[in-house]
Structure 1
Amino acid sequence: MSVTSLRSSSTARAGARAAVPFAAAGFVVAISFGISARAAGMPAAAAIVMSAIVYAGAAQFAAVAILAQGGSVIAAVLAAVLMNGRYLAMGLALGPSLKGGRVRRAMEGQSVVDAAWAMANRGDGRFDRHTLFGSSALQYVTWLSGTIIGVIAGSALPDPEALGIDAVFPAFFLALLVGELRTAQASAVAVGGAIVAVVLGLLAPAGIGILAASLIALVGLRGARAGAEATA
């Protein structure tokens, strides 16, 4: 194995180790999702396949909430797509750091989830792709396995809200936010994005606030990259 391959493998393992707290939190939240999906009338196989393919907690919970309220499958799918709109901005920021042509970059981009994206961020507008792969792989395993447990053993488990599991998800994103406040510019972007997300979350349809905040973060990231290149 070449030195480059060894370094890449080491970086991926380091990314997986750094992701352990997020993977553990995701495991607990995934159990809650499995329970909620079954309570909403979603077939067990559908809930498991959704976690395997969509792999996005916020979007999955939004879809289940709509189904639980009697909404249509189409409405649930549209809500999930809208909630995942932030990945457009995240993907645009990440794209230059991936390898190969469009197809390969698209395949590598499938590993993007919030925590992995944040941990792979070097702080200068660039990303470490092997950190992304390692951290995302571990989180995928715990998210899928947690969903399976929630779906299969959900009836024997306590109510997630009674255990305070519903607080894990906000805490998860708060931890990501705190980890990104490395510079004054990053702090300003984070505060601006948070304000926009909260305001639009109260006034606009579900997902619009997150998408708008993601676009603000993208603009801030581009600015950070331009500044780093100017001083290089």
Structure 2
Amino acid sequence: MDANPSADIDDVSPRLRFLAGVKVGVGLASAAFVLAVTFGALARAEGWGVLAPIVCSLVVFSGSAQFALAAALAGGGGIPTAIMAAALINGRFIPMGVAVAGDLRGGRFRRALEGQTVVDGSWASAHLGDGRFDRWKLFGATAVQWPAWVAGTALGVLVAPPEKLVEALGLDLVFPAFFLLLLIDELRRSRMARVAAGLGASIAAGLVFVVPAGLALVGASVAALLGLRGGDSGGGEAS
């Protein structure tokens, strides 16, 4: 394997690198579309109306943040609490953006615009190693995911299946299942993540008896401050 996979990246045309990103993005977009249909349908069922879920997907373009927003609102936490919950989840894009910033081009406005393509799957697929990223692959992967996410949301909103059908198909379980998958992925990575998850669950379990579920969600996020203590001290497990 090449010790420095980013060394020859400039020898490949931007078009080919963009198409490589599109190829990766197609698979990600397929999953995003299905998830977005569920978000649109459940947001409509929660009384968001027709336009609000679609605008949310256009602007936010983050499944985890949008699900947190919807879950907090459904739990009675109110708009400020819901926004706080979504912002806390989207806070992960700050270090991701810092990491990719060196490979973006142009002035401040152009770099800010290019930075909007930083989403989880695209960011991971564009990583070359040694702190380098293929910006064209990043663009290509996101170029197909964003319209798929918005289109899926629109379909979910317009179809708006009745509540009984949503329950029969198990769509009402997508919110908790989505976050459970994220949690499992984190738990496999480090011992500190497991400690933080346990503390967060304990905080939420205590708060849910005295405050709305949305506020309990925000309160539980205090456990994430454990991450400020640094990396995992327990080492990784063999896979």
Q: Name the TM-score, length of structure 2 as normaliser.
A: 0.72
**Structure 1: tracts of 5 or more residues without a match:** 179-187, 221-232
Whether the 8 Å contact between 1:17 and 1:135 is mirrored in structure 2 is yes
Q: Quick one: structure 1 residues 148 and 83, their matched pair in 2 at CA, closer, same or farther if it must change by over 3 Å?
A: same
Whether the 8 Å contact between 1:59 and 1:84 is mirrored in structure 2 is yes
For each residue in 1:46-66, what CA deviation from the matched residue of structure 2 results, as whole angstroms up to 9, or x when unmatched? Answer: 110000000011111111112
Q: Quick one: structure 1 residues 208 and 117, their matched pair in 2 at CA, closer, same or farther if it must change by over 3 Å?
A: farther
The aligned residue for residue 46 of structure 1 is 52
Give the RMSD, CA atoms, in angstroms.
3.4
* 2:7 equivalent to 1:30: no
Larger Rg: 2
For each residue in 1:169-208, what CA deviation from the matched residue of structure 2 results, as whole angstroms up to 9, or x when unmatched? Answer: 3697599x69xxxxxxxxx9x3356436534542565484
Whether the 8 Å contact between 2:25 and 2:143 is mirrored in structure 1 is no
Q: Distance in 2 between matches of 1:119 and 1:161?
A: 36
Structure 2: which amino acid aligns with 1:162? L
Q: Distance in 2 between matches of 1:151 and 1:143?
A: 12
The aligned residue for residue 230 of structure 1 is none
The aligned residue for residue 229 of structure 1 is none
Q: Quick one: structure 1 residues 21 and 196, their matched pair in 2 at CA, closer, same or farther if it must change by over 3 Å?
A: farther
Q: Distance in 1 between matches of 2:76 and 2:134?
A: 43
The aligned residue for residue 198 of structure 1 is 197
Listed as ranges, the matches of 1:87-106 within 5 Å are 87-106=93-112
The aligned residue for residue 206 of structure 2 is none
Aligned to 2:13, the other structure's residue is in SS state helix
Q: Distance in 2 between matches of 1:161 and 1:90?
A: 38
Structure 1: which amino acid aligns with 2:118? V
Whether the 8 Å contact between 1:113 and 1:136 is mirrored in structure 2 is yes
Q: How many pairs does the alignment contain? A: 205
Listed as ranges, the matches of 1:4-19 within 5 Å are 7-19=13-25
Whether the 8 Å contact between 2:64 and 2:179 is mirrored in structure 1 is no
How far apart are 1:23 and its partner, in Å? Answer: 1.0
Whether the 8 Å contact between 1:86 and 1:210 is mirrored in structure 2 is no
Q: Quick one: structure 1 residues 150 and 128, their matched pair in 2 at CA, closer, same or farther if it must change by over 3 Å?
A: same
From the two aligned structures, give the one with the greater helix fraction. 1
Q: Distance in 2 between matches of 1:215 and 1:132?
A: 28
For each residue in 1:28-60, what CA deviation from the matched residue of structure 2 results, as whole angstroms up to 9, or x when unmatched? Answer: 110110111112111210110000000011111
* 2:156 equivalent to 1:150: yes
Q: Which moved more, 1:65-74 or 1:121-130?
A: 65-74
The aligned residue for residue 127 of structure 1 is 133
Q: Quick one: structure 1 residues 48 and 116, their matched pair in 2 at CA, closer, same or farther if it must change by over 3 Å?
A: same
The aligned residue for residue 169 of structure 1 is 178
Structure 2: which amino acid aligns with 1:18? V
Q: Distance in 1 between matches of 2:21 and 2:226?
A: 26
Q: Which moved more, 1:201-210 or 1:56-65?
A: 201-210
